[in-house]
Amino acid sequence: MVAVLYPQIVWAGPIESDIWGRIWNQGLLSPTLAKQRLLEESRNYFQNTSTSNFKGPVLGFVTPWNGAGYDMARLFRHKFTYVTPCWYQLRRSRPDRRFVLAGQHDVDQSWMQDLRVPMHQGAVVPKIVPRVVFELGPQDTMDMLKSASRIALKIVRECSQQGFDGVVVEAWAGWQASGLLTGPHHDQALAFMLGLSDALHEAGLLLLMAVQPATSVKGAGHKPTLRATDWDALKSRVDAVTIMTYDAPSWGPTEFNAPLDWFQSNIEALAPKTELAGCNAFAHKALLGLNFYGWDYSAGQPPEAILGSRFREFLQLDTADLRWDAAVAEHVLTYPHKGEMHRTFYPSLKSMHERLQTAATSETGISIWELGQGLEYFFDLL
């Protein structure tokens, strides 16, 4: 597929120079970043992986189908407040109709032990909070809400038995899709989350929620799943909310991963400046999503998800052109292939830095999907 322009590159891996020295010396935050420089630096990372540059809370997702994420979480563990392996699903069994937590076969106790070993005395290790996706239809959801205390006990017991620090619950978006959050059962759904929070906290465990973006992409008809009144009720009772601001094409007609103004509007929706001006105690509970993957577009073809390894291949095309789009604060790579022009949107240090700076200024945190999909030098910014 590719006509390789550049010679074979010897990847350096861990190096003595930290990211800030390399940024200014190599121009890694330049909007006119050269492809060759990106290729040379993208596998490099500062050998002292226990340092943190972003001072807010950071959550990193890992998935069972991408082992690289487990390795990155282990190597850079001191940069994370929370690590979230995507292990669990709440389902209804057949034929007895019991509610069950599926996914125990993915739990990796050895990896969990590695995450909890500090690299030096006094180093803080991340909290391990697996994701639990509620895979229930509308009627099963209604039945579950009537069994709220039993579901909460089931989750608390699993956390205690496996040695987790809590859970990330992904249910809110599904509830809206089924109409639950716009109907008379909204209060039941909210009461369920508050009750689950109380049960987990009584056991010394954490509750985080995963929700869709709080605001729409420009021109889209997407309705936010987390209303301001919901946030007001939840923000003092949950430990954090991770917001999916890393996949704008899912929420509106755009090719970009996450336009910066959309990222900013989500911050303002959940942590308004009027609150931040008074050192809002809840701003840090809003974890704005960052993507470590991208999308490749061409005419007449569905978009293709792109990981770091694939993006490196595209960069080696002699016909590829890397440009900065200031309107959305993202780099875009264009190249021809089989008679079609492709446009690839994949994170760069500059696009990440602008979003991290925005989050830092607003005192919010970030969440990353997903750790095994990125380039090694991304982690130096965290």
Q: What does 145-191 look like in DSSP terms, one character per residue?
A: HHTHHHHHHHHHHHHHHHT-SEEEEE-HHHHHHTTGGGSTTHHHHHH
Per-residue pLDDT, averaged over 228-243, amounts to 89
pLDDT of residue 6: 28
How would residue 191 be classed by pLDDT, with cut points 50, 70 and 90?
very high
Mean pLDDT over each residue of the chain, to the nearest integer? 86
Quick check: helix, strand or coil at residue 88?
strand
How would residue 275 be classed by pLDDT, with cut points 50, 70 and 90?
very low
How would residue 276 be classed by pLDDT, with cut points 50, 70 and 90?
very low
The top-scoring range by mean pLDDT among 50-59, 82-91, 307-316 is 82-91
Q: In 245-259, which positions are buried (b, 16+ CB within 10 angstroms) versus exposed (e)?
A: bbbbbebbebbbbbb
26-38 pLDDT, tens per residue?
678 888 888 888 8
Per-residue pLDDT, averaged over 251-270, amounts to 73
124-151 pLDDT, tens per residue?
999 999 999 999 998 999 999 999 999 9
196-221 pLDDT, tens per residue?
999 999 999 999 999 888 776 664 54
Tokens, residue 37: 């420089």
3-state percent breakdown (helix, strand, coil) of the chain, nearest 5: 40, 25, 40
pLDDT at residue 314 is higher than 60:
yes
Q: Do 18 and 381 form a contact (C-beta atoms < 8 A)?
A: no
Low-confidence winner among 45-49, 73-77, 179-183, 293-297 (lowest mean pLDDT) = 179-183
pLDDT at residue 17 is higher than 90:
no
Q: Where are the domains of the chain?
A: 43-293+349-381
Show Cβ contacts of residue 69 under 8 Å, excluding neighbours closer than 6 positions.
60, 61, 62, 63, 370, 371, 372, 373
Pairing verdict, β 294-298 and 301-306: antiparallel
What sections of 203-259 are H helices per DSSP? 228-234
> What is the CB neighbour count within 10 angstroms for residue 86?
22
Q: Do 324 and 345 form a contact (C-beta atoms < 8 A)?
A: no
Return the percentage of the chain with pLDDT > 70, whole number.
86
pLDDT at residue 359 is higher than 70:
yes
Q: Could you give the CA distance from residue 76 to residue 131 in angstroms, rounded to a whole number?
A: 20
How would residue 255 be classed by pLDDT, with cut points 50, 70 and 90?
low
pLDDT of residue 310: 93
Tokens, residue 147: 């069994």
Q: Where are the beta strands (DSSP E) in the chain?
A: 14-15, 45-46, 58-62, 82-85, 88-92, 99-102, 127-128, 131-134, 166-170, 206-211, 240-243, 286-291, 294-298, 301-306, 321-325, 330-337, 340-345, 365-369
pLDDT of residue 216: 66
154-187 pLDDT, tens per residue?
999 999 999 999 999 999 988 887 888 887 889 9
Q: Could you give the CA distance from residue 250 to residue 322 in angstroms, rounded to a whole number?
A: 24
> What is the CB neighbour count within 10 angstroms for residue 40?
16
How would residue 76 be classed by pLDDT, with cut points 50, 70 and 90?
very high
315-355 pLDDT, tens per residue?
999 999 999 999 889 999 999 988 889 999 999 999 999 99
Which class is domain 43-293+349-381? alpha beta
pLDDT of residue 283: 84
Q: Do 147 and 190 form a contact (C-beta atoms < 8 A)?
A: no
Bond into 370 cis (ω within 30) = yes
Per-residue pLDDT, averaged over 52-61, amounts to 94
Bond into 14 cis (ω within 30) = no
pLDDT of residue 250: 58
Show Cβ contacts of residue 165 under 8 Å, excluding neighbours closer than 6 positions.
127, 128, 129, 159, 205, 206
pLDDT of residue 4: 29
Element (H, E) at 263: helix 260-270
100-125 pLDDT, tens per residue?
999 999 999 999 999 999 998 888 99
Tokens, residue 209: 């929620």
Query: Higher confidence at residue 24 or residue 268?
Result: 268
Q: Could you give the CA distance from residue 257 to residue 354 in angstroms, rounded to a whole number?
A: 14
List, as one string, the DSSP characters of 282-326.
Answer: TGGGEEEEEES-EEEEETTEEEEEE-HHHHHHHHTBTT-EEEEET
Return the percentage of the chain with pLDDT > 90, whole number.
56
User: Phi, psi at residue 55, to the nearest 5°?
Assistant: -90, -10
